[in-house]
Homo-oligomer: A and B are copies of this chain.
Amino acid sequence: MKIVRINTTDGTVTEQALPPERAHYGGRLLTSTIVAEEVPPLAHPLGPRSKVILANGMFAGHANVPCSGRMSVGCKSPMTGTIKEANAGGDAGCYLGRYGIRGLVLEGLPPDAEWRLIHVSDDGIKLLSASQYAGLNNYDLVEAVRRDMGEKVSIICIGTAGEQRLSAASVAVTSADGPPSRHAGRGGTGAAMGAKGIKAIVVDMKSGQGGPIADEEELRRLCTEFARELHESKQVLRDYGTANLVNPISELGALATRNFSAGTFEGAEKISGEAMRETIDDRGGAHGRACMPGCPIRSANRYVCADGTVVDDVEFESLTLLGANCGIDDLDAVAKLERMCDDFGLDTIDTGGAIGVAMEAGLLEFGDGQKAIELLAEVSKGSAIGKIIGSGAALAAQVLGVRRVPAVKSQGLSAYDPRGLKGMGVTYATTPMGADHTAGAPIPNRPGIGELNLDPMDKQDKDLLSYDLQVMTGALDALGVCMFTGPQVSTVEWWARIMSAATGERWTFRRLLQVAHDMIRTEIDFNRRAGFSEQHDRLPEHFELEPLPPKGPVFDIGDAALDGVTGSLTVDDRVPDDQ
């Protein structure tokens, strides 16, 4: 497998084999390693010394390995200034794997203001002009590219948010059934790609499979069984998607509501997974869609608004940040906001956070879905208020003079209020990525390693729980596989068996966790060299000072516990026996 470096300054393309000792490097492990080794920590995220790395994982291209085609995008974040990895589903990871590509590295700065695209095909990897696509949003862009280059392409691209280098701009990846609805959303990956002048990466679809496998038969056997288990155990995701969590999190009293000023949203029922499913059924949408080839979980849906607008996959975070957090209980309005984010290439989480902040600042009323749609439309127009909203929650708060900033390291909180889900608060505070639930999500009843107190409002054990979920999720991120296969002990054990079959080496639960632990420590070390200290691993003060209605919890996990997660905890502490 190889890494391909594209120098955007002079247009040269260089291929480089992955060294044997790094044969397993992929996904977040590859992006974070390259950022840590090659990007000066004080480089400007949009400057000439920054790099953008797009990496798939070990099993990309092998459609029989379930959920294995995730696409990681790594860089120094334009939003946070920390190291950054965000990953997306979609089909690009799979097809890139079939060209023997583990990673693409975008380097330098373009010599002019022209947009370019990278075309990956059997003719090699070429940098082409994309000026005809300038100013297009993602939906129009993929349609135009398919018109020009054929239907059989997978596309990684940015919309107008990335073109403007907005801090909440995402990188979109086309879903297995076509639309650009999968996003490496967090931290401004789209801005980083935009700074490199790359509008799209177009990958010709290709049959075959990905990298070499040591024991194909054993791999097939394991994957068949694992896929069956995933299919059977994830019925709720197929039925309701991640939206199944809206009602329970609101009932728990931990759902971001009106800029994190309440934990229960009186309109939760109307934007719940159940309500959505009913509406989808009434209007002829779809459930149980796969975003990447060979997914047995199929958590994606297709929502249809009353006016016929089709929205590809409305997920929990979008429903809640764009919904409850903005006081909006109109499902169609929320779905349209999500569709606009996908189209413009914007992180729905930080966009919802920014709109909530704008509402707190009085620019519009909480609950006004129509005004929120008008406000969001400004992002694509490039207006000043659009740029503020497209810069995410933390920047919007500073520009608008709002003191309740729902962010850590300048990245917006996900929709789980850390006062009601304290383990999530630990993850927000301590992950090197800035607030990010996907870095290790202690949602209710999700177990860590061993017997831990899972009561979400009890502070006991939440540092351990966050650590466990961060390393287990990190292991999945490093393999480029979907976190919905886990993260839990049994899942990581599955992946260890699959890794053993694929590589012919002995991979264990412990070894995978050690890789993840080391990867996270590499990321923390980059952040330290970039000027981040333990003081940045804290939640904003109002989560400690202001009890969350209706149940009244505050975030009360002490600094020492937080610092243990990034400092003293090790895999050896958490996995006492060699598993």
A positions within 8 Å CB-CB of B: 40-44, 46-49, 78, 164-167, 191, 194-195, 383-385, 387-388, 391, 395, 398-401, 403, 405, 528-533, 535-536, 538, 540-542, 545
State A129–B191 Cα separation when bound (angstroms). 46
Contacts of A540 in B (CB 8 A): 44
Given contacts A384-B384, A388-B388, A403-B195, contact A535 B542 (CB under 8 A): no
State A395–B395 Cα separation when bound (angstroms). 8
Contact A535 B545 (CB under 8 A): no
**Cβ-defined partner of A46 (8 Å) among B41, B384, B403:** B403
Contact A403 B541 (CB under 8 A): no
State A532–B528 Cα separation when bound (angstroms). 11
Instruction: Name which of A48, A384, A405 has the most chain B CB atoms within 10 A of its CB.
Output: A384
State A145–B159 Cα separation when bound (angstroms). 51
* A interface, over-half SS: loop
Contact A531 B541 (CB under 8 A): no
Q: Return 22 A-B CB contacts under 8 Å, by A number.
A: A40-B541, A44-B542, A46-B401, A46-B403, A49-B541, A164-B401, A194-B401, A384-B387, A387-B388, A387-B399, A387-B400, A387-B401, A388-B388, A388-B399, A391-B399, A395-B398, A529-B535, A530-B535, A531-B533, A531-B535, A531-B536, A533-B533
Contacts of A529 in B (CB 8 A): 535
Contacts of A383 in B (CB 8 A): 384
Nearest CB of chain B from residue A52's CB, rounded to whole Å: 14
Contacts of A40 in B (CB 8 A): 541
Beyond the given A47-B542, A195-B403, A395-B395, could you list 16 further A-B residue pairs with CB under 8 A, ordered by the A residue number?
A42-B541, A44-B542, A47-B403, A166-B399, A167-B398, A167-B399, A194-B401, A195-B401, A384-B384, A387-B388, A387-B400, A387-B401, A528-B533, A531-B533, A531-B535, A531-B536
Contact B541 A43 (CB under 8 A): yes
Question: Closest residue to A401 on the B side, CB-wise?
Answer: B165
Contacts of A384 in B (CB 8 A): 383-385, 387-388
State A536–B391 Cα separation when bound (angstroms). 22
Nearest CB of chain B from residue A532's CB, rounded to whole Å: 7
Contact B400 A545 (CB under 8 A): no
Contact B44 A405 (CB under 8 A): yes
Question: Closest residue to A50 on the B side, CB-wise?
Answer: B403
Nearest CB of chain B from residue A545's CB, rounded to whole Å: 7
Question: Closest residue to A532 on the B side, CB-wise?
Answer: B531
Q: Which 3 A-B pairs have the closest CB atoms?
A: A165-B401, A531-B535, A384-B385
State A541–B387 Cα separation when bound (angstroms). 24
State A195–B404 Cα separation when bound (angstroms). 12
Contacts of A545 in B (CB 8 A): 48-49
Nearest CB of chain B from residue A177's CB, rounded to whole Å: 33
State A542–B401 Cα separation when bound (angstroms). 29
**Cβ-defined partner of A401 (8 Å) among B191, B388, B530, B541:** B191
Contact A541 B398 (CB under 8 A): no
Nearest CB of chain B from residue A539's CB, rounded to whole Å: 9
Contacts of A541 in B (CB 8 A): 40, 42-44, 47, 49
State A545–B40 Cα separation when bound (angstroms). 13
State A535–B526 Cα separation when bound (angstroms). 12
State A43–B405 Cα separation when bound (angstroms). 12
Question: Closest residue to A534 on the B side, CB-wise?
Answer: B531
Instruction: Name which of A165, A401, A535, A542 has the most chain B CB atoms within 10 A of its CB.
Output: A401
Question: Closest residue to A79 on the B side, CB-wise?
Answer: B398
Question: Closest residue to A41 on the B side, CB-wise?
Answer: B535
Contacts of A528 in B (CB 8 A): 533
State A542–B42 Cα separation when bound (angstroms). 11
State A401–B538 Cα separation when bound (angstroms). 27
Nearest CB of chain B from residue A404's CB, rounded to whole Å: 8
Contacts of A166 in B (CB 8 A): 399, 401
Contacts of A48 in B (CB 8 A): 545
State A542–B46 Cα separation when bound (angstroms). 11
Nearest CB of chain B from residue A345's CB, rounded to whole Å: 14
Contacts of A167 in B (CB 8 A): 398-399
Question: Closest residue to A162 on the B side, CB-wise?
Answer: B401
State A399–B78 Cα separation when bound (angstroms). 10
Contacts of A399 in B (CB 8 A): 166-167, 387-388, 391, 395, 399
